[in-house]
Amino acid sequence: MSEVRKNSITGEWVIFAANRHNKPYHFKRNQQLQENNAMGCPFCPGHEQETPLAVAALPQEANWEIRVFPNKYPALDEENGACSQADDFYEALDGTGIHRVVVDTPVHGQSPEAFSDDHLKTVFSVLQQQVVQVGQQEQIAYVQAFKNNGPMAGASVYHSHWQILGTPMVPLRQRKVEEYLLAAQAAGKTCPYCQMLAHEEEAKMRLVEETAHFVSFVPYASRFAYELWVLPRRHVWTIGQLEEAELLDLARLTKTLLKKVMALRPGLNYNICLEDSPKVQQRQLFHWHMEIIPRMGSLAGFEFGSDSFINHVLPEEAAKQLRQL
């Protein structure tokens, strides 16, 4: 049973997923222990019965290379997410949502930077289909596809995978962006992301890679050291709008960027977030993008207490290093 409660003062939403207590944790204190050990991995071929039934498998279930199934320990329930403590004073939502796992390779220990271009492109196509499909459900207000690579990035299973989480609420970060985009529109401005892309291309010092369809840079006010944003040149507001040529370009660029990130420090963990637009009235104001977040340090008291971040590497210096790698 899950439920979603709102902090009425800050506007932050919290998902309560009590069933995730039982989730197995596959990393030992020493990460190396698990790395070469595919024994008992529920995401390896031959262990399909240890996960819920697949909702999609490519090319097919018998010899899958990409397999999508409901999360066995979902943060949100597809049914029965009723709030346990309904209260007139506070705001809460039923914890109804969709939480899926996308295993993106049958090979235990293989990471996306080692995939072929075509395979990673197919992975992005599957993520695209899943985000669109989950977003079509009436109870879903927002869908994020994300990847936790390694225990420092929040992964509990070593085998490479992504997650798709469809939530009944628009999270606070997306709500704040919406407010800004609406104000920019009211002031007669064009898309702030399109403007930022053009500005970074001209300024050059925070640029890392440019391709036919995408521009990647270290954002001016990066929260994390070596954080990377990847923006499509075309103004699209959901991954569902990306075309074949763009998905292939995105796959190639992602591999290049992940290799650079991995070269910063061996075995570095990272998160990837696909920032889709929430299902709000003016959804088309959003500009879809991808964020890659290397996990060099951990969040600490000041970050928790203030939602402000301390970053030890200036974006211009981070971009220079990433360009040279």
Q: How far is the CB of 289 from Zn ion (least distance, A)?
A: 9
Q: How far is the CB of 197 from Zn ion (least distance, A)?
A: 7
- How far apart, in whole angstroms, are the C-alpha atoms of residue 211 and residue 194? 16
Segment interacting with Zn ion, rule: CB under 5 A, options 60-68, 188-196, 267-275, 297-305? 188-196
Element (H, E) at 199: helix 192-203
Beta carbon nearer to Zn ion, 67 or 287: 287
Q: How far is the CB of 191 from Zn ion (least distance, A)?
A: 3
Beta carbon nearer to Zn ion, 78 or 113: 113
165 forms beta bridges with 99, 144
Beta carbon nearer to Zn ion, 206 or 287: 287
Q: How far is the CB of 288 from Zn ion (least distance, A)?
A: 9
Beta carbon nearer to Zn ion, 184 or 296: 184
Q: Which two tokens stand for residue 158?
A: 């070593």
Q: How far is the CB of 101 from Zn ion (least distance, A)?
A: 12
Per CB under 5 A, contacts with Zn ion among 221-240 are 235
Q: Which two tokens stand for residue 314?
A: 């200036």
Place of tokens 């936790």: 148
What does the angle CA 39 – CA 40 – CA 41 come to, to the nearest 5 degrees?
Answer: 95
- How far apart, in whole angstroms, are the C-alpha atoms of residue 201 and residue 257? 17
Per CB under 5 A, contacts with Zn ion among 274-293 are 287
- How far apart, in whole angstroms, are the C-alpha atoms of residue 172 and residue 11? 6
Per CB under 5 A, contacts with Zn ion among 28-57 are 38, 41, 43-44
Query: To 10 degrees, the CA torsion angle through 163, 166, 167, 168?
Result: -170
* Phi, psi of 113, rounded to the nearest 5 degrees: -65, -15
User: What x-and-dash track marks residues 158-187 binding Zn ion by CB under 5 A?
Assistant: -x----------------------------
- Residue 263: CB partners within 8 Å, gap ≥ 6? 325
Q: How far is the CB of 193 from Zn ion (least distance, A)?
A: 4
Residue 108 found at the interface with Zn ion (CB under 5 A) = yes
- Where do contacts with Zn ion occur on this chain (CB under 5 A)? 38, 41, 43-44, 108, 159, 191, 193-194, 235, 287
